[in-house]
Amino acid sequence: MSRLAPQVDLILELRDARAPIATTNVMLDKVFKGKEKIILYTKSDLASTTKREIDKWNVNKETWTFYQNKSEKSINQVMKLLKDKYMEMYPPPPLGLRLMIVGMPNVGKSSITNMLRSKMLTTGYKSKKPVAHVSKMGGTTRKLSEIIRICSEPEILMYDTPGVLLPQVKDVTTMLTLSLIRSVSFKSIDPVISADYLLFAMNLMNPSGKHYSCYLNKPTNDILELLKAVCIKRNMFIKRKRLDDKNKYEQIYNYNEAALQLTRDLHDLKFGKLCLDYDILKDKIEELPIEEKRMIVDAEKERFDAMEKNPLNRPVDKSKPKTPQQRRAQLSNQLFQ
């Protein structure tokens, strides 16, 4: 992406509307520094996040809009934004407006690429078939695509890119949020822990237990109580031999499968529209001042700068080894510190 950055006129950054802060990648700001950018908050049909909340956290006053997947109205709005940007350019770019679509894994980059190509290419164009692979899990796009024509009048071309994660996330709640929206593999985190954070977020939004009332008719803070209710309703049990009598069997609750079912229900909208970003949920309760919001945003940029200077977050040894053998020895010592 860095290599192609000078050739790009516009950046289209996608963030998940259910986690607008957790899916903000400050590394992209450094790669595309000085480039004009439009932010799309995707999957807004699954999110409870409002325009007012996004505006409150938009401390850098960036151009943004909500995008609802497979919505005719949303895709028309994006098309208008892109065409307006083309018309603003003077003189018009001789090779067309070139834009790059970027963001974290599983925020919908390939989906919107296919939608834009399908809607913006003029009728009768020889090929309007999907050009980007799409799946429910993040990480489907593995490499930078060839340039894709998404509009012929005016000429607009796009690069689809793989999802980019920061080398380290800032805290545990951010990692759990990214796991629930499938930006990181759910296999990397215990499903019961992810489900516990989901329960925590649902209770912050509505303490009455309305979101999970399909399983439990009362509010709870105990994830095991909710998982037991899921196991009973979904018949999720494991049959095993009893410890006191090997000839008899007993049924135990399959907590892991029940936790995975809760994450599937989340994506199937069984719990209604949700916000999973802890900072926004906290702001709903405490109404954070604008100065604190700016500090949270700036702290992530500072964290990335420090991470880039010292990726392993270890004391920097300023003494330079003189020979290859000394360099290898120093590297080995760093790896095992």
The mean predicted confidence, pLDDT, of the chain is: 80
Q: Which of 154, 152, 155, 68 is nearest to 115 (CA)?
A: 68
Q: pLDDT-derived band of residue 233, with 50, 70 and 90 as boundaries?
A: very high
Which H/E stretch holds residue 103? strand 97-103
Residue type, 18: R
Asked whether the beta carbons of 201 and 281 are under 8 A apart, the reply is yes
pLDDT number for residue 126: 46
pLDDT tens, position by position, 173-205: 888 899 999 888 777 788 999 999 999 999 988
117-175 residue pLDDT tens: 777 665 444 445 555 555 555 545 545 556 778 787 888 888 888 777 666 777 888 88
For the chain, what percentages of helix, strand and coil (3-state, to nearest 5) are there? 45, 15, 45
Q: What is the pLDDT of residues 10-62, one digit of tens each?
A: 889 999 999 999 898 888 888 888 888 899 999 998 899 989 889 888 888 88
As a CATH number, domain 5-160 is 3.40.50.300
Q: Using the 8-state DSSP alphabet, how is residue 212 labeled?
A: G
Q: What CA–CA distance (Å, rounded) separates 157 from 148?
A: 5
pLDDT digits (tens, 9 = 90+) for 31-41: 888 888 899 99
pTM summary value: 0.77
The domains of the chain are located at 5-160, 190-283
Angle between helices 278-286 and 172-180 (to 10 degrees): 110
pLDDT score for 226: 95
pLDDT surpassing 70 at residue 313 = no
Residues 148 and 171 sit within 8 Å (Cβ to Cβ): no
User: For the ranges 85-89, 318-322, 327-331, which has the lowest average pLDDT?
Assistant: 318-322
